Amino acid sequence: MAGITIKSKREIDLMRDAGKLLRDVHLRLGEEIAPGITTLDLDKLGEELIRKTDSIPSFLNYEGYPASVCVSINDEVVHGIPTKDRIIQDGDIVSLDIGLIHNGWQSDAARTHAVGNVSEEALALIKVTEESFFEGIKFAVAGNHLHDISNAIGNYCIDRGYGVVYDLVGHGIGREMHEPPQVPNFPQKRRGVLLCAGMTLAIEPMINIGRGDVKFMNDGWTCKTEDGSLSAHYENTILITDGEPEILSL
Ligand code: MF3
Ligand code: CO
């Protein structure tokens, strides 16, 4: 892949369409999460909702990933593979990461849901993870540097005692799901690339109650916290402008 792509007005309109469709898939799927539903049920429903909008699930078969929705529960950080035996329980925190392609343009977003009676500390984790995204995008303005976003996200969480996952990062997005630049969620020494109007980024803090270290399971995908602590994920596809960033998938 070449350098960072700057999207035209027309391309931005198409990415906006994709983002709104993805937002709606998240809203619908979020309503279905309840004790008793399996992670495969969520995947199948997610795929159906995506296809109904004339979109393609971007995760399905991506580097061999076998599903349309990543479902990651409790100490699973990201990329949990849906199965028919995995049943959502009261008290779980469940992150859904979903991507779709509409008219050739990608959108990528994740939400973490609390199911039933969830501990105060788990609710606080979900809240801080979301807040760190919004803290980060305060700096997502043309003329700033990429790592202004990374520093804001990382420091917001570290200051509150959370572990920031440093083995996985956000990314540019457009015709491809993963385009340059990489978007770290933790403080950086270098300032990163200059942000320009028309850049589109998927910003996705992954935050743990314990340490930021993660491990990867033998299924080749599932990423869990090393220390077994709970983890949350929040992601949106955003557009850099000369003023406020636009959140395309919200
Ligand atoms: N949001 C994730 C990412 O940006 C989703 C990719 S998972 C995969 O990398 F299943 F597509 F691989
Ligand atoms: Co992503």
- Span 132-157, mean pLDDT? 98
| Residue 140: pLDDT band with limits 50, 70, 90 | very high
Domain that holds residue 20: 9-247
pLDDT at residue 1, as a whole number: 52
State the chain's mean pLDDT as an integer. 98
Q: Which numbered atom of ligand 1 lies nearest the CA of 59?
A: 11
Integer Cα distance of 221 and 129 in angstroms: 22
In terms of Cα–Cα distance, which of 100, 115, 122, 110 is closest to 37? Answer: 115
> What are 7-51's pLDDT values in tens digits?
999 999 999 999 999 999 999 999 999 999 999 999 999 999 999
Q: Is residue 3 part of a domain?
A: no
Residue 2 has pLDDT above 90, yes or no: no
Cut 0.95: pTM above it: yes
Cβ-based neighbour number of residue 67 at 10 Å: 24
pLDDT at residue 168, as a whole number: 98
Integer Cα distance of 147 and 170 in angstroms: 12
Residue 234, ligand 1, Cβ within 6 A: no
The overall longest dimension of the chain from CA atoms, in Å, is 49
Q: Is residue 84 part of a domain?
A: yes
| 83 φ, ψ (degrees, to nearest 5) | -140, 165
CATH number at 83 reads 3.90.230.10
Provide the Cα torsion 186, 189, 195, 200; round to 10°: -30
Closest C-alpha to ligand 1, atom 3:
170
> What are 84-128's pLDDT values in tens digits?
999 999 999 999 999 999 999 999 999 999 999 999 999 999 999
Q: Which numbered atom of ligand 1 lies nearest the CA of 168?
A: 9
Q: Is residue 145 part of a domain?
A: yes
Q: How many domains does the chain have?
A: 1
Closest C-alpha to ligand 1, atom 8:
59
Amino acid (one-letter) located at 245: P
Q: Candidates 65, 96, 185, 234: which one to mutate for ligand 1, based on the most atoms within 8 Å of Cβ?
A: 65
Residue 170 has pLDDT above 70, yes or no: yes
In the reported structure, the alpha carbon of residue 186 is separated from the centroid of ligand 1 by a whole-number distance in angstroms of 19
